[in-house]
Amino acid sequence: MNDIKKFVRFYKSDFGRKVLAREANYLKKELKDRKKILDIGCGIGYFEEMLPGLNIIGLDNSREMLEEARKSSSKKFVFGDAEHLDFPEESFDGAFMVTTLEFLDDYKKVVDEVVRVLEPKGKFVAMILNPESEYFKSHMHKADSYFRKIKHTNLKEIESYISKLFAMTGEYFLGIRGQEVFDTRDKNLASLYVVKGVKV
Ligand SMILES: C[S@@+](CC[C@H](N)C(=O)[O-])C[C@H]1O[C@@H](n2cnc3c(N)ncnc32)[C@H](O)[C@@H]1O
C-alpha cells in the first residue's frame, strides 16, 4: 500500500479520528490567536480540514500528498521543500509540524528556515514522535510501518537545537495504548513530544 493510502486509511479509522481530533484540538489552543500559519509537511491536509477557523497554508514536497489534501480542504496548499522555504522573511506569525521534523534529513536546516519565515514573537509548534512510547515501539516492529522512515530519534538533541532559537517549552502528549487514546504526560505512554517555541 502506498503512503497516501496508508494515511487516508489511518485518518478515516475510528482510532485515527480520535488521534487527529486530539492533535487538532491541541494545535487550535496553541495557534488560535495567530493570523497566518504555515503547516510544514502537511501530508493529506487533514489538519487544514479539522481547523477551518485558522488561516493555514499547507506545504509538502509530495505532489501526490498535496493532490489528496486539496480534496479534503479548500485551504491553500503549496509544493515546497521544508529545508528551503520559498517565502520571504517574517511571512508568518505561526508554524506547525506534525510528526514531520523527525523524518527530514536536516532538521536543523528546517528549524533555521522556520525561524527565518516567522515574525518576531511568531510561534512554532512541533509534534514529534516519542521513541520511548509503547505506541512507537509497537509500530517499529511492523515491517511496512511509515515510522521506519524516521531519521531522528534523539528528542533531547532536537529540543536543544530549537531552544537556541526560540523561547521554548516541551511536554509529552497523547497517550495511546492499543486503540485507546487518552491524556497523559507519562513518557512511556505519550506517543508525542510537543515542542512549543516563540521566536525571540
Ligand atoms: C509523517 S508525514 C506527516 C504528515 C502530516 N503532518 C500528518 O501528521 O498527517 C510527513 C510529511 O512530510 C512530507 N515531507 C517529507 N520531506 C519533506 C520536505 N523536505 N519538505 C516538505 N515536506 C516533506 C511528506 O511528504 C509527508 O507528507
Report CA(120)–ligand 1 centroid distance (Å). Answer: 25
The set of cell numbers assigned to 29 is: 489552543
- Does 38 contact ligand 1 (Cβ within 6 A)? no
Residue having the nearest C-alpha atom to atom 12 of ligand 1: 41
CATH of the domain at 28: 3.40.50.150
Residue 35 has a CB neighbour count (10 Å cut-off) of: 10
Write out the three cell numbers for 83: 529545508
Q: How many domains does the chain have?
A: 1
- At position 180, the amino acid (one-letter code) is E
Predicted confidence at residue 2, as pLDDT, reads: 87
Look up the domain containing 61 and give its range.
3-199
Q: Give the containing element (helix H, strand E) for 156.
A: helix 155-165
> Can you tell me the distance from the alpha carbon of 124 to that of 93, in angstroms, rounded to the nearest whole number?
9
Does ligand 1 have an atom closer than 6 angstroms to the CB of 49? no
In angstroms, how far is the first alpha carbon of the chain from the final one? 43
pLDDT in tens, the chain (200 residues): 788 999 999 999 999 999 999 999 999 999 999 999 999 999 999 999 999 999 999 999 999 999 999 999 999 999 999 999 999 999 999 999 999 999 999 999 999 999 999 999 999 999 999 999 999 999 999 998 999 999 999 999 999 999 999 999 999 999 999 999 999 999 999 999 999 999 99
